[in-house]
């Protein structure tokens, strides 16, 4: 079964540093998403991406965040200057014809 | 009213029991509904979509009540491996999928 893959599985960074989280969505999917989940809390929407542009974003997705699809397969989330409160699991997801999301196994970001 | 609301549980049930979870949602215009399962520190995995007419997949039955704006998940003959958090997911504004906080199920021998 096709999968969404994410790298790295765990990223530790110091406050103020830039991080890039990488995702390879399912190959025939057209819609891409980033969600995050702070430990013990619910899964929260960050951004959706379609046709090489952001289609929706939440209040969490401020100027410190950006997304990019640099080539035909990768989808990245960049956090420019990380804060302690950015520590969370970041999930990439993709969807095709159905709205149902297929998630990658996540990147655990720890900001120290 | 929260966008998607679930009883966090935990629901502690013995193996073989039948257990049901409900979820309420606030956006009456929502068109798509799902149940996801999440194991501890893992990604959410799609369990089933929820259709207006109700649908069944093996031991799992999902129902939608648009008038009262809730969806339900029934699990029959619970297995130890059903222990997880069950996430109610509703299409919100702008076609975004909004997650509930999840209901934790623990099935005991």
Collapsing DSSP states into helix, strand and coil, what is residue A84?
Answer: helix
The size of the A-B interface in CB pairs under 8 A is 49
Nearest to B97 among A42, A101, A104 (CB): A101
pLDDT of residue B100: 96
> A87 pLDDT exceeds 80?
yes
B21/B7 Cα distance (integer angstroms):
8
Mean predicted confidence (pLDDT) in A10-31:
95
Banded pLDDT at B94 (limits 50, 70, 90): low
DSSP string, B48-85: EEE-TT-EEETTEEEEEETTTTEEEEEE-S--GGG-EE
Query: Residue A47: which of A55, A62, A57, A32 has the closest Cα?
Result: A57
CA distances to A64, B8, B97 from B71, in Å: 36, 15, 15
- CB–CB contact A89 B91 (8 Å): no
Tens digits of per-residue pLDDT, A64-79? 999 999 887 899 999 9
> A83 pLDDT exceeds 90?
yes
**Residue keyed to tokens 């031991």:** B59
- CB–CB contact A91 B43 (8 Å): yes
Substitution target in A7, A25, A42 with the highest count of B β-carbons within 10 Å is: A42
Nearest to B94 among A35, A56, A106 (CB): A56
């Amino acid at each position: 079964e096709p999968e969404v893959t994410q790298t790295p599985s765990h990223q530790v960074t110091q406050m103020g540093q830039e991080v890039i989280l990488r995702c390879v969505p399912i190959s025939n999917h057209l819609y891409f998403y980033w969600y995050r989940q702070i430990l013990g809390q619910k899964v929260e929407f960050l951004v959706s991406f379609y046709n090489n542009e952001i289609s929706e974003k939440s209040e969490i997705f401020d100027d410190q965040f950006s997304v990019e699809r640099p080539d035909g397969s990768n989808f990245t989330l960049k956090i420019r200057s990380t804060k302690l409160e950015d520590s969370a699991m970041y999930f990439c997801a993709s969807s095709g014809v159905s709205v149902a999301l297929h998630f990658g196994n996540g990147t655990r970001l720890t900001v120290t | 009213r929260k966008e998607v609301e679930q009883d966090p549980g935990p629901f502690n049930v013995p193996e073989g029991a039948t257990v049901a979870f409900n979820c309420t949602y606030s956006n009456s215009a929502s068109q798509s509904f799902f149940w996801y399962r999440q194991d501890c520190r893992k990604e959410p995995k799609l369990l089933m979509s929820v259709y207006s007419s109700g649908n069944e997949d093996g031991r799992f039955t999902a129902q939608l009540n648009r008038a009262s704006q809730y969806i339900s998940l029934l699990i029959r003959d619970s297995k130890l491996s059903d222990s997880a958090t069950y996430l109610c997911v509703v299409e919100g504004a702008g076609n975004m999928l909004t997650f509930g906080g999840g209901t934790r199920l623990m099935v005991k021998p």
